[in-house]
Amino acid sequence: MYCFPVLPSYTLTHQWLRELARFGTRGGLAAVHVRLDDEQYVLVRHYADRTRDVRSTVPAAEAVRRIAALDDPRGWEVFVPRAIRPSEVHRVRTAPQVVGWRYRPGAHGVRPCTCFGCRVRGGYGARRLRERLPHPLDGPPPPAEVLLARIAAAGHPGDPAVLREALHWFGMRRRGPLPQLARLAAHPDPGVREELVWAVACWSAPGVAELLDGLAHDPHPDVREAVEAVRESP
Q: 177 and 206 in one domain?
A: yes
pTM for the predicted model, two decimal places: 0.54
Q: Where does the pLDDT of residue 24 fall: very low under 50, low under 70, confident under 90, or very high at 90 and above?
A: low
**Backbone angle region of 158, left / alpha / beta, with phi > 0 → left and psi within -120 to 50 → alpha:** left
Cross-sheet strand order for the sheet of 2-3: 2-3, 76-79, 41-46, 57-59
Nearest to 38 by CA among 59, 63, 64, 58: 59
Q: 134 and 63 in one domain?
A: no
Average pLDDT, the chain: 88
Whole-number pLDDT of residue 54? 47
Q: 129 and 45 in one domain?
A: no
pLDDT higher at 65 or 175: 65
114, 129 contact by CB (below 8 A): yes
Q: Where does the pLDDT of residue 215 fall: very low under 50, low under 70, confident under 90, or very high at 90 and above?
A: very high
Domain annotation covers residue 129:
yes
Residue 104: strand, helix, or coil:
coil
pLDDT higher at 150 or 137: 150
Domain annotation covers residue 106:
no
Q: 198 and 214 in one domain?
A: yes
- Amino acid symbol at 141: P
Domain annotation covers residue 101:
no
pLDDT higher at 40 or 118: 40
Range of the domain at 29: 2-94
Q: 67 and 44 in one domain?
A: yes
Q: 89 and 10 in one domain?
A: yes
pLDDT tens for 182-214 read: 999 999 999 999 999 999 998 988 899 999 999
Domain annotation covers residue 183:
yes
Nearest to 45 by CA among 32, 26, 33, 62: 62
Cα separation, 27 vs 127, in Å, equals: 27
Q: 160 and 127 in one domain?
A: no
Cα separation, 71 vs 96, in Å, equals: 24
Count of the separate structural domains present in the chain: 3
Cα separation, 163 vs 147, in Å, equals: 9
Q: 33 and 69 in one domain?
A: yes
Query: Between 160-170 and 190-200, two packed helices, what is the crossing angle to 10 degrees?
Result: 10
